Structure 1
Amino acid sequence: MLVMVRYIDGNYDMVVAHRLEGLIKAGKILEFRRGNGWARIGRDSTRGPETDYEGEERRKGTSSDHPTY
């Protein structure tokens, strides 16, 4: 998927979505387009809050269920 970005210098470009986080971390983009409008780096939330899950493990096939040989 392509995402429209606006670089710090004001130029616009389309980048593949998996490169977006790297561009944000490198400080190369000012904002990017998402479904509900432009997200401004440093002003708008770009990711939900990262929290550690403290509940019971419910996923199937955890490594403890299947020993490796």
Structure 2
Amino acid sequence: MMIRVIYNDQSAGMVADYQLDDLINAGKIVAFHRTDGWVSVEQGPLRGRGEAPGSYEGPERRRKNTKSCKVKIAEKQ
């Protein structure tokens, strides 16, 4: 999935989701877009930014698998 970002020089771009954490940690972006709007790297709630594990209290935004997967196991005869 591609994510819209704003770089330090105020230019806009798109990055792969797996690149986002590295770009934030390297200080190369100032904001990125979530489904609920733009998030400032300096001010927005971000996962894994020094808080205790599991301490994030914001809304759940991760996709949930809505399809059920049933596995049939063949019985040995």
TM over 0.5: yes
**Unpaired stretches in structure 1, ≥5 consecutive residues:** 53-69
Q: Which runs of 5+ in 2 are unaligned?
A: 55-77
Greater length-normalized contact order (CA 8 Å, ≥ 6 residues apart):
1
- Matching residue of 1:9: 9
Instruction: Give the paired residue count.
Output: 52
- Aligned letter for 2:29? I
CA drift of 1:51 comes to 1.9
Quote the RMSD (CA, aligned, Å). Answer: 1.6
Instruction: Find the counterpart in structure 2 of residue 24 from structure 1.
Output: 24
Secondary structure at the aligned position of 2:42 is classed as: coil
Q: Which residue, 51, 54, 57 being the options, matches 2:53? A: 51
Deviation track 1:31-53 (CA, whole Å, cap 9, x = no partner) reads: 0000000010120011164427x
**Percentage identity across paired residues of the two chains:** 37
TM, length-normalised to structure 1: 0.69
Q: 1:25-40 alignment to 2 at 5 Å?
A: 25-40=25-40
